[in-house]
């Protein structure tokens, strides 16, 4: 017999109860803070055509001929500076969030709702986790990318990975995907409560800077909604915190290359604020659900040094929501709302 192109599960039974599943997807992380571990991770990440929109032949020559020869060592230093005894902060924090969401959903809806975590790059992969959920009886699947604001470079890439997996399945589960939750009322409230709790414990700086991950300006010009969704998040969060335009500032971090990215740039902004006389600057990153190298190293270390070198006294990073009770509550409500109509979630808002 010819070999099948599709993955299937043997032993299906008509009396096997169907389950609903939630697949959380975060960006990913190398297995270790070393150049050897960074190289395959960066090859997968930077090799994604959703992330780098250049002619493939040209970009692959640059990636494998230049970038993967030099960048892994530099990136390994950044990862090593934030690595914990448990491992990667993004991996550990995402796992804790998944565990907390499983417990929260179980307390509200005892029964067949499974929560799993996948990484878009690295392990565990989207495909491996979807196949595992299928083995556990999941017939209805909600995919929740942990990116509050949609971008083709992030959520769009997760959709690609899910679609590629579904193409290989003989009997794909029913599918729903959360496109974004940038202006979700529960999410905005969770962000505000987290910032207010941090201020109550540490005092309040002179200004609050909201730093979002950047993308090339040409992606937005081509129709990516990311910039406008970041603006919406900042506007709603500022209104909830009672901050005016002089107290709340938005910027974009993590740019690479020479082409224009979304502005204003975070590193330029913190230096300008210090030179303008701001002494204590608070920074939050509402585009990151879980702390990672971009928040713990780039903001809390690199940009702190930029700020103090330019004359500021203290740049204080306010942690991401991580597995806080506020994030667990807001994502639980979001999940149940997106699962409405499925029998496993009947009777719940």
Longest dimension (CA), the chain: 76
Can you list the alpha helix ranges (DSSP code H) found in 203-348? 217-221, 226-241, 266-275, 293, 304-309, 325-338
CA gap 314, 294 in Å, rounded? 19
Binding residues for Fe(2+): 213, 294
Tokens of 303: 């940009």
Binding residues: 213, 294
Q: Is 137 left (phi over 0), alpha (psi -120 to 50) or beta?
A: left
Three-state DSSP class for residue 25: strand
Spatial contact of 19 and 138, defined as CB atoms under 8 Å apart: yes
Spatial contact of 122 and 129, defined as CB atoms under 8 Å apart: no
Task: Count H helices and E strands in the chain, helices first.
Answer: 13, 8
∠ CA 41-47-52, nearest 5°, is: 125
Three-state DSSP class for residue 309: helix
């Amino acid at each position: 017999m010819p070999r099948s192109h599709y993955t299937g599960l043997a032993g299906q039974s008509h009396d096997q109860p169907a389950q609903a599943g939630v697949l959380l997807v975060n960006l990913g992380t190398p297995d270790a803070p070393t150049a050897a571990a960074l190289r395959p991770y960066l090859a997968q990440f930077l090799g994604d055509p959703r992330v780098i929109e250049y002619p493939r032949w040209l970009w692959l020559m640059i990636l494998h001929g230049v970038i993967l020869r030099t960048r892994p060592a530099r990136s390994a230093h950044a990862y090593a500076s934030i690595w914990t005894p448990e491992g990667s902060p993004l991996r550990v924090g995402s796992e804790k969030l998944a565990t907390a969401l499983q417990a929260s959903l179980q307390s509200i809806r005892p029964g067949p709702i499974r929560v799993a975590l996948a990484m878009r790059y690295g392990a565990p992969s989207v495909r491996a986790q979807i196949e595992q959920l299928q083995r556990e009886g999941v017939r209805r699947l909600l995919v929740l990318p942990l990116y509050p604001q949609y971008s083709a470079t992030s959520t769009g890439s997760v959709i690609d990975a899910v679609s590629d997996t579904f193409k290989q399945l003989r009997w794909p589960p029913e599918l729903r995907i959360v496109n974004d939750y940038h202006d979700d009322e529960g999410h905005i409230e969770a962000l505000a409560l987290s910032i207010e709790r941090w201020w109550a414990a540490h005092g309040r700086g002179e200004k609050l800077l909201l730093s979002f991950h950047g993308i090339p300006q040409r992606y937005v010009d081509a129709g990516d909604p990311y910039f406008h969704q970041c603006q919406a998040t900042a506007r709603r969060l500022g209104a909830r915190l009672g901050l005016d335009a002089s107290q709340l500032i938005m910027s974009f971090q993590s740019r690479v290359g020479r082409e224009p990215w979304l502005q204003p740039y975070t590193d330029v902004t913190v230096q300008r604020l210090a030179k303008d006389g701001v002494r204590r600057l608070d920074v939050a990153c509402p585009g990151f659900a879980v702390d990672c190298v971009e928040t713990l190293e780039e903001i809390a270390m690199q940009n702190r040094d930029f700020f103090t070198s330019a004359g500021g006294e203290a740049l204080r990073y306010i942690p991401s929501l991580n597995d806080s009770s506020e994030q667990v509550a807001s994502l639980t409500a979001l999940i149940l709302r997106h699962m409405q109509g499925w029998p496993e979630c009947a009777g719940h808002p």
